[in-house]
Amino acid sequence: MKYSIAIHGGAGTISRRRFTPDKQIAYYQVLAQAIKTAENLLANGGTALAAVEAAVIILEDCPLFNAGKGAVFTNEGKHEMDASIMTGHDLQAGAIAFVHGVRNPIRLARAVMEQSEHVFLCGTGAEQFARKVGLPFEPESYFFTQDRYTQLLKAQKEDTIQLDHSENDSPKNDPLDKKHGTVGAVALDSYGNVAAATSTGGLTNKKFGRIGDSSIIGAGTYANNLSCAVSCTGYGEFYIRGVVAYDVSCLMEYKGLSLDDACQVVINDKQVKMGSDGGLIAIDGQGNVCLSYNSEGMYRAYKRHNSPLFVAVFDEELHID
């Protein structure tokens, strides 16, 4: 059975010197667990949609990442989450933004796609819909992590809006200490269909109802069987302006570029020229995988039906049997 699955847990990364062996093991374990869960589905005839949702749920449930449990704090000390999901065979999509308390935002995005006549719901309306379809809610305390609370206090003091930093004692302006902990997954299933999913808490200290790219179809998430499935991470404003996920797809569909070449143009040329740092994961109809970033690193992993598990954060090559 031919299938592929790839995931990310955000680009940027903490500095290498603070990425202790203990942290490395913790990150690698959960990335591997997410891949294995998705692979198990795919190997048993599950759909790409089911695989990307299952992988993202595992990352949302892990406090190491900025999505679901462990989402960053808003200026008001809350957690406002964005997510989206898309299937490539029928161009169906579901997205939610500015949502509080929903345990797994990606499940809500899928419910919007499958159980509403809409594509994009936000705020209290999206929360009402989550209750209607019976999704679990959690109190604010469930989403709390001390590191991210400390990040908020620092960002409030400096009056900045910050990408997720995992180290709170980071020297200011340390370029290696940036991390976008958004999570995402892309998959190709044995039926030849692709799907993509992305979930995030957004930016630390965000206010005014700020929404990033992760919930925007075409910007942070896109899937089309004619080209590829894409999930992005990075400073969302750049990814919205660059319509990044759709741009990768368009370069393949209309210009005939390969997956690798399309990702290279968008991430290492166009986005660099715009001044952004971040990355994306993408998969095409042949199961080719591209994990592309222009930041110091990206939490990432993939598995093809016929290859060993790959897990990495920085530029190292790590295949695990």
- In the complex, the residues that contact ligand ASP under the rule CB under 6 A are 10, 66, 163-164, 180-182, 200, 202-203, 212-214, 220, 233-236
- Structure letter (DSSP) for residue 162: B
- Smallest gap from Cβ 220 to ligand ASP, in A, equals 6
Which residues, at least 6 apart from 203, have a Cβ–Cβ distance to it below 8 Å? 72, 161, 162, 163, 164, 210, 212, 235, 236
Nearer to ligand ASP, 39 or 213 (CB): 213
- Phi then psi for residue 301, to 5 deg, are -160, 150
Q: Which two tokens stand for residue 73?
A: 């704090």
Q: Within 13 A of 60's CA, how many CA atoms are on the CB side? A: 27
Residue 225 or 249: which CB sits closer to ligand ASP?
249
Residues identified as active-site = 182
Residue 88 or residue 279: which is nearer to ligand ASP going by CB?
279
Contact 252, 259 (CB under 8 A): yes
When the beta carbons of 74 and 87 are compared against ligand ASP, the nearer one is 74
CB of 88 vs ligand ASP, minimal distance in Å: 21
Q: 3-class DSSP state for residue 142? A: helix
> What span, in angstroms and rounded, lies between the C-alpha atoms of 212 and 304?
30
Q: In angstroms, what is the minimal distance from the CB of 134 to ligand ASP?
A: 27
Nearest distance, CB of residue 43 and ligand ASP, angstroms: 29
